[in-house]
Every structure is written in structure tokens, then in C-alpha cells.
Homo-oligomer: A and B are copies of this chain.
Amino acid sequence: MIYAAVLAGGSGLRMGGDLPKQFLNICGRPVIIRSIDAFIKSGKTDMIYVAVSASYTEYMRELINKYIQFKNIKVICGGGNRNETLYNVLESIKKEREVSDEDIILTHDAVRPFIDDRIINENIEAVKKYGAGNTVIPAVDTILQSSDGKFIDSIPLRSTMFHGQTPQSFSVKKITELYENMTPEEFEQYTDACSVFVAKGEKVCLVQGSRDNIKLTYPEDIEKAESIIKSKEQD
């Protein structure tokens, strides 16, 4: 089984406005629906989990009924942070069927609607080969490290620095085992599942993302998103 988990736990506060940014309508279709669309269109995912905060589960179900034909899709409650949300997805998977060695999960930001088939396929291949993959793009600007936010500690070699995108993809068995052996402190400490893999000494393979695979974070990103949608429609 190949699962996709579209994660929308966040409140989207940086975007301003009342409606979390994953629900904003861009060119006539909500962002989160566009993210789900990409997985359905790829034809690779057997089952899609959509995790949203408790107060939006009903709204999310209505959106799916309105926009999506695909039936293997399930809305669940997100947790207090990304790891908890993903843990909830894994629990839900475990309840429904036995986990096999071949099961793969692609976890994806609900607010990154522009993943494409290539990225999805390469994530699946990365997990088949190495057990875990993280979509990235190389850093264009210099990256600086500062532990106090006042002075530069170091300027790592730019060619070794990458921006994390999603999907982050995993062997369902491997990530479930790692999560089940984590302490509550570790759940706080690691901001995402790839950090957990790296901390536990597990390999995480880089998958080439794309500049279009933006995360809608700030109001000006909406304009960029509209422009990407329009350019794709012209293709």
C-alpha cells in the first residue's frame, strides 16, 4: 500500500485573515484540495489521509464531497505538532489493516499544492531503496548559522545546504517503530519525522524538489500561486 498524508495541523496565522491558508480558494479551488488532487492525479497512492485540526474536520469533509471524486480518502484530527499529527495518521493506518514491509507513506504539507508526478514517483523510489526520502532544493542564497541571533557562528558551504520541501516519505513500518520508541521529550525536540530518522542514525535520501513546489506562507505567496496555476494551464 502507498499512503499519502496531507497534513494541515497549522493555524496558518502568518497569512493573516480568518480562514487557515490551506482552505483559501486559489483560482476557484481550495489549496488543500489542490494538494490532494496532485496525489490522486499521480495514480500512485492507494489511500489518502487528510489531517486537520479538530474544529475543521467537518468542513474538510464537506470540501472533499464538493470537489473530489476519489473515494479512498479519510479525514482525521491533527495533533499539537507535526510529529503528533503524523503519529495520529499512523495509528489510524494500523487500526485499519496490518502494516507490511512494503507499505510507504508520503507525508505532505497541505499548503504545497504544486507537487508533480516526478516528485511523487521519486519519493516512492527513495523509500523503496533507502527507507526514507526528503524532497529538497539546493540553497540559492548563502545560509548563516547563529545560535544567539546576534552574531554569525558559521557560514556553511552553500553547496552542502538544502531547503526542505515535502513530501517527506517513509517506510510505514520503520517510522511507526521509531515513533513508538520515542519519549515525549523527543516528540517535542524533533520538529519533523526526517529529523527523527537522522537523529536515530537512519538514512534519509534527498529527492529533488522544484522551485514551483512552494509552501504558501505569506499573503504575497498567493499571487505567486496564481501565476504558477496560470502558467501550468497554458502548458
Residues of A within 8 A of B (CB): 130, 134, 136, 139-147, 149-156, 158-165, 191-192, 194-195, 197-198, 203-206, 211, 215, 217-218, 220, 223-224, 227
A206 to B148, CA, bound (A): 10
A60: shortest Cβ distance to chain B, in Å? 25
Q: Is the interface of A mostly helix, strand, loop or mixed?
A: mixed
A36 to B57, CA, bound (A): 52
- Which of B143, B151, B220 meets A227, CB within 8 Å? B220
B162 lies within 8 A of A145 (CB): yes
User: Could you show 11 A-B contacts with beta carbons less than 8 Å apart?
Assistant: A136-B146, A140-B215, A141-B215, A142-B163, A143-B143, A149-B159, A152-B204, A153-B198, A155-B192, A155-B195, A224-B224
Which interface residue of A130, A155, A162, A191 has the most chain B CB atoms within 10 A?
A155
B134 lies within 8 A of A161 (CB): no
A223 to B158, CA, bound (A): 26
- Which of B142, B145, B163 meets A141, CB within 8 Å? B163
A218 CB contacts on chain B under 8 angstroms: 211
- Which of B141, B145, B149, B206 meets A150, CB within 8 Å? B206
A194 to B215, CA, bound (A): 30
Q: Which residue of B lies closest to A218 (CB)?
A: B211
B160 lies within 8 A of A147 (CB): yes
A195 to B217, CA, bound (A): 30
A215 to B142, CA, bound (A): 12
A79: shortest Cβ distance to chain B, in Å? 18
Contact (A151, B205) CB under 8 Å given A160-B145, A164-B141, A164-B144: yes
A55 to B159, CA, bound (A): 29
A141 to B158, CA, bound (A): 16
B150 lies within 8 A of A143 (CB): no
Q: Which residue of B lies closest to A163 (CB)?
A: B141
